[in-house]
Homo-oligomer: A and B are copies of this chain.
Amino acid sequence: MNAPEAEFIPRRSLHDELTARVRALITEGALAPGEKIPEKELCERFGVSRTPLREALKVLASEGIVTLRPNRGARVSALTAAELEEVFPVMGALEALSGEIACRHISDAEIAEIRALHARMVEHWRAGEREPYFRLNQAIHEAILEATRNETLKSMYRGLAGRLMKARYIANMSPERWAAAVAEHQAILAALERRDGIGLSAILKAHLAGKLATVKDWLERQEPPGNGAARQAD
């Protein structure tokens, strides 16, 4: 007889859990770009030895989130303006593709789900609440990605997005840009409802260009121009 509740799950290995945890620390800003990653402290914090943590760091390094210099430890990768210009065309291509594919597979239920997310997001926009706006915004893009049913595309896109998904970018978005972003989202929803892959593809690409502008702007304020290399540590 089989176990009544097969209960797959949490067979996650330690290093796997750690990659997720450290990644979260980084994307949530607890570890700032350029900052050194203190192996010892993280080990104590999570109550694990260095071995699995180091494995996790290697993986994050291969994702580009972390930079590893031989015998000098790990640092959070600092995104330079030049790098941004590199990343965005690639994200644009993937985002466009995701829109195209999503339209071919998305169900009515999924569209309804996104419509609901969109409505809530607009509410937060009206209320000027940036934090929850950002979360819903992200949820919508995630839902579109999910609708592609393409694991490869999902993991590629997430890998790139992970390098710049900081809630704080949105903090200094101008009201005009913000309004434009909401309008773009309106168009995104409309294209989805028409299942217009080509159209959605184009809108998403434009939408991303807007985001690029926002992030570049944010970056400027972080590293005042003329200062080639950002501060190494705090």
Answer yes or no: A37 CB below 8 A from chain B CBs.
no
In the bound complex, do residue A156 and residue B156 qualify as a contact, i.e. CB atoms below 8 Å apart?
yes
Per-residue B-contact encoding for A69-106, CB less than 8 Å = 1, 0 else: 01100000000000100110110011011000100000
Answer yes or no: A36 CB below 8 A from chain B CBs.
no
Per-residue B-contact encoding for A176-189, CB less than 8 Å = 1, 0 else: 00000000000000
Answer yes or no: A120 CB below 8 A from chain B CBs.
no
Query: Chain B residues near A61 (CB, 8 Å)?
Result: 59
In the bound complex, do residue A153 and residue B86 qualify as a contact, i.e. CB atoms below 8 Å apart?
yes
Size range of the chain A interface in the assembly: 20 to 34
How distant is the Cα of A165 from the Cα of B83 in the complex, in angstroms? 27
Answer yes or no: A39 CB below 8 A from chain B CBs.
no
Per-residue B-contact encoding for A53-79, CB less than 8 Å = 1, 0 else: 011001101111000101100000000
- Between A62, A93, A160, the greatest number of chain B beta carbons within 10 A of the residue's beta carbon is seen for A93
Kindly identify, within residues 117 to 160 of chain A, every residue whose CB is under 8 Å from any CB belonging to chain B: 150-153, 155-156, 160
How distant is the Cα of A190 from the Cα of B231 in the complex, in angstroms? 46
Answer yes or no: A2 CB below 8 A from chain B CBs.
no
Number of copies of this chain that the complex holds: 2
Query: Chain B residues near A94 (CB, 8 Å)?
Result: 90, 93
In the bound complex, do residue B90 and residue A153 qualify as a contact, i.e. CB atoms below 8 Å apart?
yes
How distant is the Cα of A152 from the Cα of B226 in the complex, in angstroms? 24
- Between A11, A90, A94, A151, the greatest number of chain B beta carbons within 10 A of the residue's beta carbon is seen for A90
Answer yes or no: A227 CB below 8 A from chain B CBs.
no
In the bound complex, do residue B13 and residue A86 qualify as a contact, i.e. CB atoms below 8 Å apart?
no
In the bound complex, do residue B101 and residue A70 qualify as a contact, i.e. CB atoms below 8 Å apart?
no
Select which of B58, B89, B153 is within 8 A of A55 by beta carbon: B58
Extra contacts, 9 of them, besides A11-B70, A54-B55, A58-B59 (Cβ < 8 A), are: A11-B71, A51-B51, A55-B58, A59-B61, A86-B153, A89-B150, A90-B150, A90-B156, A93-B94
A-side interface residues toward B, CB under 8 Å?
11-13, 15, 51, 54-55, 58-59, 61-64, 68, 70-71, 83, 86-87, 89-90, 93-94, 96-97, 101, 150-153, 155-156, 160
